[in-house]
Amino acid sequence: MRIKLYLDEDVDISLAYALKQKSIDVLTTQESGNKRLSDSEQLEFAVNNKRVMFTHNKRDFLLLHKSYLLEGKSHYGIILSDQRTVGEMLR
């Protein structure tokens, strides 16, 4: 099974382009028209589309992850990353 990523609006869109060059299935909030959704709505969108959330918003998405666990809900994963250059994130 291949990972399908969903990048939130905090992630440099250049990363999406670079990942797509490596044949990785990536969707951004900009491409999906979800730029104005809340963090919980973004995660819900990722779940509904069977995608792993990729974000720099570590604090809020860690809380969302904990909330999902407490509610017995599941998601397809959340990648919490520091803001780095595109090259560093690709590695």
| pLDDT value for 2 | 87
Range of the domain at 85: 4-90
Q: Which residues contact 73 (CB under 8 A, 6 or more apart)?
A: none
> How many whole angstroms separate alpha carbon 7 and alpha carbon 10?
8
Q: How far is CA 61 from CA 10, 53, 87, in A?
A: 12, 9, 23
Give, for all 91 residues of the chain, the pLDDT tens digit. 689 999 999 999 999 999 999 999 999 999 999 999 999 999 999 999 999 999 999 999 999 999 999 999 999 999 999 999 999 988 8
Number of domains into which the chain is organized: 1
